[in-house]
A = this chain, B = another copy of it.
Amino acid sequence: MKVMKMDLKIIGDKNNKISIKIGDITVGKDKLIIAGPCAVENEEMLVKTAEKVKSCGANALRGGAYKPRTSPYSFQGLGIDGLKMLKNVGDMFNLPVVTEVLDVRDVEIVERYADVLQIGSRNMQNFSLLKEVGKTKKPVLLKRGFSATYEEWLYAAEYIAVEGNTNIIMCERGIRTFETYTRNTLDIAAISVIHELSNLPIIADVSHGTGKRSLIIPMAKAAIAAGADGIMVEVHPEPDKALSDGEQSLDFSQFEELMREIKSY
Contact = CB atoms under 8 A, between A and B. Distances in A.
A175 interface: yes
Interface string A152-168: 10010011001000000
A225 B147 contact: no
A52 interface: no
Given A71-B7, A102-B127, A102-B128, A181 B193 contact: yes
Interface string A205-222: 000011110110011011
A189 B185 CA distance: 7
A191 interface: yes
Contacts of A9: 73
Contacts of A237: none
Interface centre among A2, A210, A226 (most CB of B within 10 A): A226
B149 A146 contact: no
Contact of A147 (B176, B181, B219): B176
Nearest to A10: B72
Nearest to A197: B181
A15 B173 CA distance: 33
A127 B74 CA distance: 13
A225 B227 contact: no
Nearest to A184: B189
B175 A176 contact: no
Interface string A65-93: 00011111100000000000000000000
Which size bracket describes the interface of A in this complex?
35 or more
Nearest to A123: B126
A155 B71 contact: yes
Interface in A239-265: 247, 265
A178 B146 CA distance: 11
Contact of A70 (B155, B183, B196, B212): B155
Contact of A104 (B69, B103, B215): B103
A254 to B, nearest CB: 14
A135 interface: no
A192 interface: yes
A178 B127 CA distance: 22
A172 to B, nearest CB: 11
B219 A188 contact: yes
B185 A147 contact: no
A219 B214 contact: no
A151 interface: yes
9 contacts: A1-B212, A7-B73, A70-B155, A175-B177, A177-B187, A186-B188, A224-B225, A225-B225, A225-B265
